[in-house]
Amino acid sequence: MNRTDGDDVEGHLEHLRVERRLAAATLTSYGDALAALRDMAAQGGVPLRAVQPHHARRWAAQLHASGLAPRSIAVVLSAWRGLYRWLGREGAVQHNPIEGLRAPRAPKPLPKALSVDHAVALAEHRDGSAADPRLEARDRCMVELLYGCGLRVAELTGLDITAAGDARGWIDRDGAEAHVLGKGSKRRSVPVGAPALAALADWLAHRSALAKAHEPALFVSRHGLRLTASQVRTRLKQRALQAGLPSHVHPHMLRHSYASHLLQSSGDLRAVQELLGHASITTTQVYTKLDFQHLAKAYDAAHPRAKKRSDRP
């Protein structure tokens, strides 16, 4: 081992431990990353102080090829970058070969959507043993609007009973439209289907018995005040369990389900973009991948040529 390289690494780690006071786990992670750098430099016959950007790019590519996750590579590069910044302050190097080098982007996970059967089962669930029929009517209405209109949870809780005053959102029952204030303070209108309108009428028949005087919110808690996003998440989770759904359900999953099921049925990406209120169609295009997954599963389940050889008689 090159003694100078070892001194540089140990000196930097001591600086992180004593002056920066990094946690033990972080020090261990950085120590491992710097040990890897030292080993790769030694294998290439390059002293650490002589490392150039093309060396660093090649070594980062090797880490990626070895299967290291993008987030882990980002941690490694951060440790390397910190070493050379410290060496630069010490006057040991003239430039930082890691500066500008970034880890590969981690693939974004696909949004989770319910199957059509599960989404419908949740929307049609009725809790006949509910302790408070008023809350049961409210929760059914919330599910219908989340899944039937693709609303974000903030758009749902922002709904008022009328368009009066400075209402952020409201539902026009005669026009069968929900008017909401979305991200970036952008307004949009979405159709409200017959089941959601029926659930809304049922909830409105109960709402006055709960809401405080002059409370404008469409959805209120048992205390009569505007329902919060956290309360909606809790009630939806409980309702999904009651309906027998196999996975944890949160409000945005119903929005994903709305988009995915619309796209499966219509194939109209632009219309789905407008209904969701996405500024860019690239945001909406992620649902085409969900749609392809649906088709791929149908193929795997039904097409004879999709079956494994070992499955055949």
* 210 neighbors 304 (Cβ within 8 angstroms): no
Q: How many CA atoms lie within 13 A of 16 on its CB side?
A: 24
Is the pLDDT at 96 greater than 90? The verdict is yes
Cβ atoms < 10 Å from Cβ of 275: 19
Average pLDDT over residues 257-277: 85
The string of pLDDT tens digits covering residues 167-200 is 889 999 999 999 998 888 889 999 999 999 999 9
Tell me, what amino acid is at 308? K
Residues carrying an active site annotation? 152, 183, 252, 255, 278, 287
Is there a single domain that holds both residue 226 and residue 156?
yes
State which of 89, 108, 132 marks the end of a domain: 89
Is there a single domain that holds both residue 267 and residue 120?
yes
Q: What integer pLDDT is reported at residue 253 of this predicted model?
A: 92
Please give the residue range of the domain that contains residue 245: 116-299
Is there a single domain that holds both residue 183 and residue 233?
yes
In-domain check, residue 220: yes
Count of structural domains, the chain: 2
Confidence of residue 2 (pLDDT cuts 50, 70, 90): very low
In-domain check, residue 313: no
Say which DSSP state 50 is in: G
Q: What integer pLDDT is reported at residue 107 of this predicted model?
A: 66
Taking alpha carbons only, the member of 127, 116, 141, 159 closest to residue 238 is 127
Is there a single domain that holds both residue 133 and residue 248?
yes
Is the pLDDT at 79 greater than 50? The verdict is yes
Q: What integer pLDDT is reported at residue 249 of this predicted model?
A: 93
* 154 neighbors 146 (Cβ within 8 angstroms): no
Is there a single domain that holds both residue 150 and residue 213?
yes
Is there a single domain that holds both residue 137 and residue 283?
yes
The string of pLDDT tens digits covering residues 16-62 is 888 888 888 889 999 999 999 999 999 989 999 999 999 999 999 99
Report residue 255 as tokens. 């929005």
Query: How many residues appear in the chain?
Result: 313
Better pLDDT: 89 or 308: 89
Is there a single domain that holds both residue 73 and residue 154?
no
Cβ atoms < 10 Å from Cβ of 81: 17
* Dihedral sign, Cα of residue 6, residue 7, residue 12, residue 13: positive
